[in-house]
Amino acid sequence: MRRFLFIFSAIFSTVFHAQKKPNLIPYPQSVNMQAGKFEIPETLILNDKLPKEETEYLKKRLGSQVKFKSSSSTEKVHVMHLLFPQPKIPINAEADKEKYSIYISPKRILISSYTKQGYFLALQTLIQLFEEHREDKQIPAMEINDSPKFAWRGMHLDVCRHFFTVDEVKQYIDYLAMYKLNTFHWHLTDDQGWRIEIKKYPKLTEIGSKRKESMIGAYVDNTFDGKPYGPYFYTQEQIKEVVKYAEQRHITIVPEIEMPGHALAALSAYPELACTKGPFEAATKWGVFDDVFCPKEETFTFLENVLDEVMQLFPSQYIHIGGDECPKTRWKECAHCQELIKKNNLKDEHGLQSYFIQTIEKYVNSKGRKIIGWDEILEGGLAPNAAVMSWTGVNGGIEAAKSKHFAVMTPGAFCYFDHYQGDPQSEPNAFGGFTPLDKVYSYDPIPSELNAEQAKYILGVQANLWTEYILDFKQVQYMIFPRLMALSEVAWGTADSKNYKDFENRVIQQFKVLDKMKVNYAKSIYNISGKVIPAVNGVAYELSTSQNSNGIKYTTDGTDPTINSQSYQEVIPVSKAMTVKSAYFEEGQLKSAVSTQQFTPSKTTGKNISLEQQPSENYSFGGAFTLVDGIIGNQKQLGKTWLGFNGKDVVAVIDLGQKTQFSEIYFNTLENKGSWIHLAKSTQIFVSDDNTNFKMIKEIGKEEIQNSKGKVRLNIGNQNSKYIKIKIENAGIIPAGNPGADSKAWLFVDEIGAL
């Protein structure tokens, strides 16, 4: 590869001024501030031998007057192009391909890189500097030496639950380019819709690209809009257009064709590919469904033909084949599947999934490509050359790396942007979870369990945007910004949680650019953040904001803080039922959303609590204390107040501090079978005075819990004890006839109280 050196030059004063840190995201590996400033000229004159596509992109982004001049021109040229000899060592590593440096002095700006890709990344940094100094027209002198830590810096977009136009997908790609992400994972097929034209199988889009209606509102409402959705899909010409657009921005598109599960849209068009006769229809609900591809010859022929057309459209090294959330119900009941298990000496249906994935991998490998799939492709043994996308946590990535398979880290707890990013009560309806900006920024993609050699198999990091509750592109923007900025700095390798406040300030400066672009970003960063902490007589409520905390005003009686409120000075004691409303003001003007938090304290509120088993990382916000913080979880908002346990019982011991009288125990749990969340199988209550010898005082079964609809209230007679122990039994393995059959059930619990 040739090494390019690009020179921007202009005349300006060399008077030294102390320079502040630039507002760059992701922040470069090395920035050394220098004396002086570079004055931005009215007209930027570029050498006509500069790489055309990248430089055209620069012109488009800057929006300033730009002219091309021949290198032989005697007129002043602000941008000169010099070629350096090919380096002695070949440029193979992704970091070298993307390496660049920028030197800004009072007389010139020098950009160097080995490749056009590195040049393009340098332009992103330069554009941010131009945007930051658009008004004063002076860029501080500095030297930047930069390269990414991770080769895979990705964002995902689900277009199956809700569809987005070609122009909107291009905008999405532009957002990735702005912040130096280089991989776009395009989720093109699922139960709710098939979104890519396959010429050999026209019914995939004629039938599979539409559904009769869509679920709306919270999952527990089980309501539908009654409106036909679709047909929506991308033609192959449109796919080519988007691929070319991404290539011009040095972004690789990785297409995803789901298999063997999440196949209802495909089966609605070609029911003969299932284990049963059907008929099938594209799903109208969200969740996981039992009908999946049957591993028979005609299915593999179909998928190979589909992949042939996909691989002709997408030049990416990796093809994503899904592999997640594949119930084994139909395979267990299918004579062909059972014979296949016996014939190939497979252990069980999990072994059959591995057989399915390996069959597809051999075909994809024969075409010179590789497969990547969600971490369930580890079930039954990983295909020889497959890469893993670790989403259920970090264990999939750890297992893959230790067995010398590449992995992309995308754990839901940090990288699912369909989760809430602010207080669920003041946010649009989301799928669930709670993943605020600072949590994304805190993520380290290299698991501590890996040694240096194993860590080399971590390709990088990716965030995912599933669109069950994202109805339009404005909402897409809202869910990815500003969290995409945190992801970009994590992926670049310069995120530092100790300096989060500095990052937050740079984000706020970047909002000016998003405002100019009319991007509908989330302003949760301005909103009041409430934290419940233990106090002498229960709990206290601590308020904070990214801005000056002196601007916080609040009420404790549920009234509007914009009308009658008091200034926040110290933590708010919570010893009785109350509703705290708070907001941030500047010069008397409301600058944030009004946050609302209801408290319903009981005799357990603020007490010490321990859990025998810890919740899933994805649903562990606040830890065990969440169960005694005095906040009743909203059953329609699976956000920050719930703890989720996958296949585990909840066994909690609460220390009341002294012998205490109580006669009722209550707790809240959830049921959302489409997401594999089931009510508990049973509950037992125990009491003790020494935390060793416990006496069971109450036990109820599944029927009583079902009748309570998740709001369990137990009369236990008059008790006088120091310790309460409660065991809430997980439903276990999901039974046949339910989404996710044969998988571990989820148990969600919130607020264990005593009265």
CA contacts within 13 A on the Cβ side of 18: 0
- Whether the predicted pLDDT of 9 surpasses 90: no
Residues assigned a catalytic role: 190, 262, 325
Q: What is the pLDDT of residue 15?
A: 39
Higher per-residue pLDDT: 319 or 12 = 319
Quick one: average pLDDT of 204-232? 93
- Whether the predicted pLDDT of 10 surpasses 50: no
Q: What is the pLDDT of residue 6?
A: 41
Q: What is the pLDDT of residue 526?
A: 85
Instruction: Band the pLDDT of 483: cuts 50, 70, 90.
Output: very high
What would the two tokens of residue 41 be?
């000229």
- Whether the predicted pLDDT of 478 surpasses 50: yes
How do residues 648-673 score in pLDDT, each as one tens digit? 999 999 999 999 999 999 999 988 88
Instruction: Band the pLDDT of 77: cuts 50, 70, 90.
Output: low
SS3 of residue 619 by DSSP: helix
Instruction: Band the pLDDT of 622: cuts 50, 70, 90.
Output: confident
What would the two tokens of residue 509 be?
């400066």
Q: What is the pLDDT of residue 4?
A: 40
Quick one: average pLDDT of 258-262? 97
Q: What is the pLDDT of residue 229?
A: 98
How do residues 526-537 score in pLDDT, each as one tens digit? 888 889 999 988
Instruction: Band the pLDDT of 676: cuts 50, 70, 90.
Output: confident
Higher per-residue pLDDT: 362 or 220 = 362
Q: What's the whole-number average pLDDT of the chain? A: 90
Q: In the chain, pLDDT over 70 holds for what percent of residues? A: 92
Instruction: Band the pLDDT of 242: cuts 50, 70, 90.
Output: very high
Alpha-carbon distance of 229 to 209, in angstroms, equals 9
Quick one: average pLDDT of 329-349? 95
What would the two tokens of residue 384 be?
């020889």
Instruction: Band the pLDDT of 81: cuts 50, 70, 90.
Output: very low
Q: Indicate the range of 526-535, 635-644, 694-703 predicted with least confidence.
A: 635-644
Q: What is the pLDDT of residue 110?
A: 83
How do residues 96-117 score in pLDDT, each as one tens digit? 889 999 988 887 788 888 889 9
Contact assessment for residue 236 and residue 199, using Cβ atoms and an 8 Å cutoff: yes
Q: What is the pLDDT of residue 287?
A: 86
Instruction: Band the pLDDT of 68: cuts 50, 70, 90.
Output: low
Instruction: Band the pLDDT of 691: cuts 50, 70, 90.
Output: very high
Q: What is the pLDDT of residue 537?
A: 83
- Whether the predicted pLDDT of 66 surpasses 70: no
Return the amino acid letter for 698.
Answer: K
Alpha-carbon distance of 631 to 32, in angstroms, equals 48
Q: DSSP letter string over 667-718?
A: EEE--BGGGTB---SEEEEEEESSSSS-EEEEEE-HHHHHHHTTEEEEEEEE
CB within 8 Å of 566: residues ≥ 6 apart = 553, 554, 555
How do residues 271-320 score in pLDDT, each as one tens digit? 999 999 999 999 999 988 999 999 999 999 999 999 999 999 999 999 99
- Whether the predicted pLDDT of 450 surpasses 90: yes
Alpha-carbon distance of 523 to 59, in angstroms, equals 30
Helix axes 335-343, 349-366, angle to 10 degrees: 80
Length in residues, the chain: 755
Among 407, 457, 468, residue whose Cα is nearest residue 433: 468
Q: Which residue in this structure is represented by tokens 């599979």?
A: 208
What would the two tokens of residue 279 be?
């008929």
Q: In the chain, pLDDT over 90 holds for what percent of residues? A: 71
CB within 8 Å of 692: residues ≥ 6 apart = none
How do residues 705-746 score in pLDDT, each as one tens digit? 989 888 999 999 999 999 999 999 999 998 877 777 778 999
How do residues 549-587 score in pLDDT, each as one tens digit? 788 999 999 999 988 889 999 999 998 999 999 999 888
Higher per-residue pLDDT: 405 or 4 = 405
Alpha-carbon distance of 148 to 183, in angstroms, equals 13
Higher per-residue pLDDT: 9 or 94 = 94
Quick one: average pLDDT of 110-126? 91
